[in-house]
Amino acid sequence: MTSRPEPPVIPSERGKCPFDPPSEYARLREEEPISPITFRLAPKDTQGWLVTNHQHVRQILADERFSHRNELLATVAAPPFPMTEYAPQPAAPGFFAKMDGADHAKYRRLLAGHFTVRRIQQHEPELSQIVDEALDEMAASGSPADLQSSFSEVVAARSVCSLLGVAPDLVSDMSEHFGAMMTLRYTLEEFIHHMESIDAILRPMVQQRMAEPADDFFGRLVATGELTEEELVNLAVLTVGGSLDTTPNMLSLGTFALLEHPDELAQLRARPELYDTAVDELLRYLTISQLGSSRCALEDVEIGGRTIKAGQTVVLSLPAANRDPDVFADPDRLDVTRLPRKHLALGFGEHQCLGQHLARATLRIGLRRLFERFPALRLAQPADQVPLRDRAMHFGVDRLLVDWD
């Protein structure tokens, strides 16, 4: 048994401002925008690259010479338990996020119609009701309250239930397991437990839809006749689980950022139409995907004076790219009037976030109604004591105590 593997050498230490990515990114972006890193994996180290400027990150995300296939990638976040060997496997059937080409396109085609701008617009009245009910419950419980558990997580879970037709008790059970997985802190036994528990929750739901098709998201997927039980279960893991970690973190962290930037919040209060642009600016400014996005070179590729060899993994730092001063003026400043159209917080190219329209709608409605319902909303703890998820898959807060009396 080897010793516990270390994560790749990518910056992780944040400075005094909780919303800024590690300051080392700025130096790398200026001096060595494509820099070598070492993935420390059993049985041996693997060499790769870290990309920190916007131009090259965007270029690689759209370049078909770079693959997102699971079996080709060195892992960015090594499992937090000892390994005797590291042998990545092809993605399981249906787990299209780690596929390319025709395999990826097949699943995305089946899902895309459920997440279009029009479909999400039709969902907005129900989403607004979900947000209002969560705020009613938070108000009834009184202040101070933990915004993360009493609002952000509630809104995300109920939105998934209503849009995808998943029973609320299933989502509640799943949230615990997905949350634990995303922290990247677990033993091998805990990892197996969480994976088996998620399967035990979702598989019976899929089997029920296959036996008794319903007119909902999974029922319509079953009706296509193109998917096996295994594919449907893994699609459920992606579509349901995908919203249970990202959306709550953005809602709470976005609230935290606005409370710490009162001039920007004042502009939103005076001009609510700015929430449309503010959501994209918050996505850019916060960029919660702190481990970036990885690709593997399928052939030797020359970019920015570097030769990336076939088989090498490239880590694309989305937080660094979204603070690139060559693309965004004064990038370290939150500006709710900015039009950050080129931000990469939701990815780019064929793997761009499938649920991006739902994410934007949830943030826009959730933040606006939160600040309208509680005009005196404020932190109920010192800002420097807010516990941050700075080692998790997605950056955010563990809890955010707020007051409004």
Domain map (residue ranges) of the chain: 24-403
| pLDDT for res 170 | 83
- First and final C-alpha spacing in the chain: 56
Lowest mean pLDDT among 34-48, 298-312, 357-371: 34-48
Choose between 345 and 183: higher pLDDT: 345
Confidence label for 4 from pLDDT (cuts 50, 70 and 90): very low
Average pLDDT over residues 307-320: 96
Lowest mean pLDDT among 121-125, 196-200, 243-247, 248-252: 243-247
For the cut 70, the answer to whether the pLDDT of residue 350 exceeds it is yes
CB 13 within 8 A of CB 22: yes
| pLDDT for res 84 | 63
Nearest residue to 238 (alpha-carbon basis) of 152, 114, 342, 348? 114
Average pLDDT over residues 284-288: 97
Confidence label for 78 from pLDDT (cuts 50, 70 and 90): low
| pLDDT for res 257 | 98
| Look-up of token digits 């694309």 | 316
Tell me how far apart the alpha carbons of residues 213 and 206 are, in angstroms, rounded to a whole number.
10
Nearest residue to 391 (alpha-carbon basis) of 29, 6, 17? 6
For the cut 60, the answer to whether the pLDDT of residue 245 exceeds it is yes
CATH topology for 24-403 is Cytochrome p450 (1.10.630)
Average pLDDT over residues 275-301: 95
| pLDDT for res 44 | 66
For residue 53, CA distances in Å to 163, 200, 318, 327 come to 36, 42, 9, 9
pLDDT digits 0-9 by tens, 144-157: 999 999 999 999 99
How much of the chain exceeds pLDDT 70, in percent?
95
Q: What is the pTM of this model?
A: 0.94
Tell me how far apart the alpha carbons of residues 268 and 279 are, in angstroms, rounded to a whole number.
11
Helix (H) or strand (E) holding 48: strand 45-51
Lowest mean pLDDT among 118-132, 191-205, 276-290, 308-322: 191-205
266: Cβ contacts below 8 Å, ≥ 6 apart: none
Tell me how far apart the alpha carbons of residues 212 and 207 are, in angstroms, rounded to a whole number.
8
Give the length of the chain.
Answer: 405
* 326 burial level (CB within 10 Å; 0-12, 13-18, 19+): exposed
Average pLDDT over residues 350-377: 96
121: Cβ contacts below 8 Å, ≥ 6 apart: 361
Confidence label for 3 from pLDDT (cuts 50, 70 and 90): very low
Nearest residue to 218 (alpha-carbon basis) of 236, 193, 194? 236
| Helices 243-259 and 153-164, axial angle in degrees (round to 10) | 140
For the cut 80, the answer to whether the pLDDT of residue 79 exceeds it is no
For the cut 90, the answer to whether the pLDDT of residue 179 exceeds it is no
pLDDT digits 0-9 by tens, 127-174: 999 999 999 999 999 999 999 999 999 999 999 888 888 888 888 888
| pLDDT for res 37 | 92
| pLDDT for res 81 | 67
Lowest mean pLDDT among 7-21, 112-126, 147-161, 301-315: 7-21
| pLDDT for res 341 | 86
